[in-house]
Structure 1
Amino acid sequence: MIKNISNINLQLKEGNTILYPTDTVWGLGCDATNNNAVKKIYSIKDREESKSLIILVSSIEMLKEYINNIPQKALDILKESTKPTTIIYNNPIGLAPNTIAKDNTIAIRIPENEFCIQLIESFGKPIVSTSANISGEPTPKTFSEISEAILKSVDYVVNLQQDKVNEKSSTILKIEGDDIIVIRE
């Protein structure tokens, strides 16, 4: 296990925010079940709470704890996807209310990244994952592109893969009946 995961878990359990590398871009994160922690994320990003966030879970089993009715199409996409894919689900349960969109949906991704999986599994709950930028500013592709304002605002910076470069955020899909709608490619 990566040695600083226990320190990160302590931060998350205390309702603090983290800056961490995900399977896509550097992200701002917190306990996705803690309303106050999620409020801090919105404040750091200077983002309206009406704009929902992406949540990371470690597995389909964990996903089932927060989504009662996972469409078969979503399960098929998750099993076949070769790139980071976020799916928007209806009627989430057990998450902080301010993570959920006004239409009662939530965007969730299962990362394919050893660090993220270990972190989520050891924490035992979903973690918020939103790009590490002020709302409306470009998404940083490297740690060095993260603004000083973000670095000073988070409670804990994960010291891992700071040379990581990622050009792309995840694909976001919404399943409505038999239709798969691409929200972001």
Structure 2
Amino acid sequence: MKENISQALKTLASGETLIYPTDTIWGLGCDATNTEAVENIYKVKNRPDSKSLIILVDGMDMLKKYIGTVPERIERFLDTATRPTTVIYNHPTGLASNVIAGDDTVAIRIVQNDFCKALIREFGKPIVSTSANFSGAPSLSGLHEIDPLLLKQVDYIVNLPAAESKKAASQIIKLNDLGEIEFLRI
């Protein structure tokens, strides 16, 4: 795993793209603070840049660096969540402008996958996590399922063949105007 983290760190620091296992599905990612790197993700996926991307952080401290105050209701929910949960937060700072939605929100998940957590912790910044597929194609749980044409377009592929991800994407929640948790994807 150390060699994969070392190579992935070089890739991220160079503003390049990578494919890696997450706590949900295999991800296509880059440095979430680098506008050009994020632009490359949209190009690789053939995805309109009007569709938002999910960002991964290693824990609450990193999350607060980009969000500021995390609503207490969200913190309590995340403390008891039994599955990976992405949260839509308002008014992020310090991220690439093209990961922030038009309504000034961003989708962020505190990752639970050991590889991702170690990678993000060593990198010291959040990374993009979008499904490792072309826009509109089904999500994949294994490295062996990823389209070979997509694999050729990224700069580094984390080679952890035993790291099969779950088939399901994360649930997505946000606080609505009444301060209640709203489920956007279950």
- TM-score band (shorter)? over 0.9
Normalised TM-score (structure 2): 0.96
2 CA distance for matches of 1:148 and 1:3? 23
Distance 1:67 1:139, change over 3 A: same
> Distance in 1 between the 2:48 and 2:163 partners?
30
2-side partners of 1:163 and 1:59: how far apart?
21
What is the aligned partner in structure 1 of residue 185 from structure 2?
184
Over 3 Å counting, the alpha-carbon distance change for 1:147 and 1:167 in structure 2 is same
Compared CA separation, residues 32 and 23, structure 1 to 2 (3 A):
same
Alignment partners' CA distance in 1, 2:34 and 2:117: 20
Overall identity of the aligned pairs, in %? 52
Give the TM-score, by structure 1 length: 0.96
Any residues of structure 2 matched to 1:15-164 within 5 Å, and which? 15-162=15-162, 164=164
CA contact (8 A) 1:21 1:161 kept: no
Post-superposition offset of 1:36: 0.2
CA apart distance, 1:140: 1.4
Q: Deviations over 1:74-125 (max 9, x none)?
A: 1111111111000000000000000000000000001111111100000000
Q: Is this contact kept in 2: 1:42–1:49, CA < 8 A?
A: yes
Contact 2:22 2:165 in 1 (8 A): no
Give the Cα–Cα distance (whole angstroms) in 1 for the partners of residues 86 and 163 of structure 2. Answer: 24
The 1-side partners of 2:45 and 2:35 are apart by 16
SS of residue paired to 1:128 = strand
Partner AA of 2:32 in structure 1: A
5+ long unaligned stretches in structure 2: none
Which of structure 1's runs of 4+ aligned residues deviate more than 6 A?
none
Q: Tell me the distance in 1 between the aligned counterparts of 2:6 and 2:131.
A: 23
How far the C-alpha of 1:141 sits from its partner, in A, is: 2.2
Helix, strand or coil at the partner of 1:181: strand
Tell whether the 8 Å contact from 1:2 to 1:115 is kept in structure 2 after alignment: no
Cα displacement string for residues 134-176 of structure 1 (whole angstroms, at most 9, x for unaligned residues): 1111111221211112101111000113561522110000112
Higher mean C-alpha displacement, 76-85 vs 157-166: 157-166
Q: Distance in 2 between matches of 1:163 and 1:41?
A: 22
Paired residues, number: 185
Query: Superposition RMSD on alpha carbons, in Å?
Result: 1.2
Whether the aligned pair in 2 keeps the contact of 1:85 and 1:171 (CA below 8 Å) is yes
1:184 is aligned with what amino acid?
A: R
Asked if 2 retains the 8 angstrom alpha-carbon contact of 1:53 and 1:107, the reply is yes
76-85 or 93-102, which moves further after superposition?
76-85
Partner of 1:75, secondary structure, is helix
